A and B are shown apart, each in its own frame.
Chain A
Amino acid sequence: MTLSKEQSLGANSVGIVTPQTMQIDTPLLLECGVSLPSHSLVYETYGELNAKKTNAILICHALSGHHHAAGFHANDEKSEGWWNELIGPDKPIDSNRFFIVCTNNIGGCHGSSGPTSINPETGEQYGPDFPIITVEDWVSSQALFSDQLGIETWAAVIGGSLGGMQAMEWSTRFPNRLKHAIIIASSPKLSAQNIAFNEVARQAIMRDPEFYEGRYFDHDAKPVNGLRVARMLGHITYLSDDMMAEKFGRDLQNRTLIDFSYDAEFAVESYLRYQGDRFADQFDANTYLLMTKALDYYDPAKAHNENLREALATAKADFLVMSFTSDWRFNPERSREIVKALQDNKLNVSYAEIDAPQGHDAFLMQIDDYIDVFQSYMNKVAV
């Protein structure tokens, strides 16, 4: 039975998808006080919207994510969507039942308004002048997007990690606009250690001589080394000690003996360098800075005397919260705080603490218990 499930998940995909862009001309007042007169969001959809428009699901992406959550782009076999494991025909987020939507959040670097887009007031690239965006701003932007798409109520808003924060924010800001919120490997706020990791990543980028205070594009430069180090650090925190031990151990890379050099001698070094290079090629440094800040800032309990129960009191949705035992970046204790606040509000909530060695990145993967719980819950999501 496990085999057939894996087979079906692996084989089924939403196929070739084409991103679309929505221009939003309603002004968006940001938390930082700046008002964006207009902005655009690039997005993808999978499956068909039903006549009553009751089967729409919003997917919120994480730190370095984007709108391409499932399927493939034309003529690019390597362009698998970041959540292709979970979204598709007969997968937990089933494109046969649901109309699934994923946007690239504002501030991103994959086509939505952000540091790489042109400031209409100056005719030049925003770069570091693009305002710092918060989770609250993302949800405001997604709400305007929903209006224009004609979706009054989402059957579910789903996100992992930073995406889970957006799902939580949706549930309290727009309680009548979603039936279910699914919050995976997330947290009601970052810990000091989390913020510290983000700060090291930011410093790696900002201290790169090619950064030029964020105006690297004016100098035909790019802080690739800073981005590489930032990503390498991030990547370590997304895996677990056990997983790295199992995956790499102390294996050497393309050699049988150490050669007393600073090359990537160990397999883990080689892996991290590869991940860093790949990321630096495709990600914008200013966006990375901005998105880590959005993570750091999110703290819905702060305005309620640090009381998360009060912060979530306006929510009406049903919740599914999931965490992974080996996730030390957003550990299960953080998810339990969310669950406690929801249960103290007597909201419908189910919580699964998935025993998995893959660390924070587990939320992106096919793990039997995770898939089973996700699938069962999604079966309950009425359309």
Chain B
Amino acid sequence: MNQISHQAIRPDFKIISDWVSTNAQVLDLGCADGSLMRHLQETKNVYGYGLEREAKNIAKCIDNNINVIQMNLNDGLPSFEDKSFNYVVLSLTLQSIKHATVLIDEMLRVGEEAIVSFPNFGHWSIRLQLALGGKMPVSKRLPYKWHDTPNIRLCTVQDFEAFCNNRGIRILESRVLNNNFETTLTQKYFPNLFGSIAMFRLSKKRKISQHTTQEP
């Protein structure tokens, strides 16, 4: 159900592949035609399932030799047990999820870690379009007009970091990429201004027991 145009092997796939451990169990939410899962199977020998809503993508996933389960992510992940996967991935799909908070909670319930990537709405070109053009921004990553966009949960890198902080989610790793899926100095030092795509590896903050929080 990714609403964003795909390329052959996307560089963000490579980053996700670097993040996951070999032989890991992975759930890919909104797996589209299954190319990410296929890439992870081929590079990291992962095992798992892609979840996908669109009927037309199911056969494509099977052609890509991945396990695919047709379901709607807006219902959460009720058919998956707690901590039954090492990683739950949501790649460039967050922006079209109705109950994004619920889904991210679900990802961290089912997975030991979550990997989330999304188009950064804080990119300078988007700011400029709204500030100077006075119109809802349209970009390579977000090609839709306001009235027909499936992308209803747009956020910036800063927004997402604040969201994680407020919800007790630990950011283990993050990468911000430009439109060509590269990280240059501008993305490194001004991620929210020059980042086109943001990627996060997350886990739940360990509950700190009363014992250790007591001041000496």
How far is the CB of A255 from the nearest CB of chain B, in Å? Answer: 41
Report the number of A-B residue pairs with Cβ-Cβ less than 8 Å: 52
Q: Is the CB of A376 within 8 A of B79?
A: no
Q: Is the CB of B81 within 8 A of A344?
A: yes
Supposing A339-B69, A344-B84 touch, asked if A350 and B63 sit within 8 A by C-beta, the answer is no
Which residues of B17-70 have CB atoms within 8 Å of chain A's CB atoms? 25, 47, 49, 55-56, 58-63, 65, 67-70
Supposing A369-B55, A369-B58, A376-B62 touch, asked if A350 and B79 sit within 8 A by C-beta, the answer is no
Which residues of A119-166 have CB atoms within 8 Å of chain B's CB atoms? none
Judge whether A96 is part of the interface by a CB distance below 8 angstroms.
no
How far is the CB of A183 from the nearest CB of chain B, in Å? Answer: 14
Residue among B60, B62, B63, B81 with the highest chain A CB neighbour number at 10 A: B62
Supposing A340-B79, A343-B49, A344-B84 touch, asked if A353 and B62 sit within 8 A by C-beta, the answer is no
Q: Contacting B79 at CB < 8 Å: which of A339, A353, A354, A372?
A: A339
Cα distance, A34 to B171, chains bound together (Å):
64
Residue in A closest to B34 when the chains form the complex, CB atoms: A350
How far is the CB of A171 from the nearest CB of chain B, in Å? Answer: 16
Judge whether A52 is part of the interface by a CB distance below 8 angstroms.
no
Residues of A within 8 A of B58 (CB): 350, 352, 369, 372-373
Q: Is the CB of A377 within 8 A of B62?
A: yes
Judge whether B71 is part of the interface by a CB distance below 8 angstroms.
yes
Residues of B within 8 A of A348 (CB): 67
Main secondary structure of the interface of B (DSSP, over half): mixed
Q: Contacting A373 at CB < 8 Å: which of B49, B62, B69?
A: B62
Task: Annotate A307-336 by CB proximity to B: 1 below 8 A, 0 otherwise.
Answer: 000000000000010000000000000001
Residues of B within 8 A of A375 (CB): 59
Q: Contacting A353 at CB < 8 Å: which of B49, B56, B61, B71?
A: B71
How far is the CB of A167 from the nearest CB of chain B, in Å? Answer: 18
Residues of B within 8 A of A346 (CB): 25, 47
Cα distance, A375 to B25, chains bound together (Å):
27
Residue in A closest to B61 when the chains form the complex, CB atoms: A350
Judge whether A301 is part of the interface by a CB distance below 8 angstroms.
no
Judge whether A355 is part of the interface by a CB distance below 8 angstroms.
yes
How far is the CB of B196 from the nearest CB of chain A, in Å? Answer: 33
How far is the CB of B50 from the nearest CB of chain A, in Å? Answer: 9
How far is the CB of B3 from the nearest CB of chain A, in Å? Answer: 19
Q: Is the CB of A349 within 8 A of B69?
A: yes
Q: Is the CB of B62 within 8 A of A343?
A: no
Q: Is the CB of A373 within 8 A of B67?
A: no
Q: Is the CB of A350 within 8 A of B62?
A: yes
Task: Annotate A56-73 by CB proximity to B: 1 below 8 A, 0 otherwise.
Answer: 000000000000000000
Q: Is the CB of B59 within 8 A of A373?
A: yes
Task: Annotate A332-371 by CB proximity to B: 1 below 8 A, 0 otherwise.
Answer: 0000100110011010111111110000000000000100
Query: Which chain A residues have a beta carbon within 8 Å of chain B's beta carbons?
Result: 320, 336, 339-340, 343-344, 346, 348-355, 369, 372-373, 375-377, 379-380
A-B contacts, 28 listed (Cβ < 8 Å): A320-B62, A339-B69, A339-B79, A343-B49, A343-B80, A344-B81, A344-B84, A346-B25, A346-B47, A349-B49, A349-B67, A349-B69, A350-B61, A350-B67, A350-B69, A351-B69, A351-B70, A352-B55, A353-B70, A369-B55, A372-B58, A372-B59, A373-B59, A376-B59, A376-B62, A376-B63, A379-B63, A380-B65
For the complex of A and B, list the 10 residue pairs with the smallest distance between their C-beta atoms, beginning with the closest: A376-B62, A376-B59, A372-B59, A351-B69, A340-B79, A369-B55, A352-B58, A353-B70, A373-B59, A350-B68
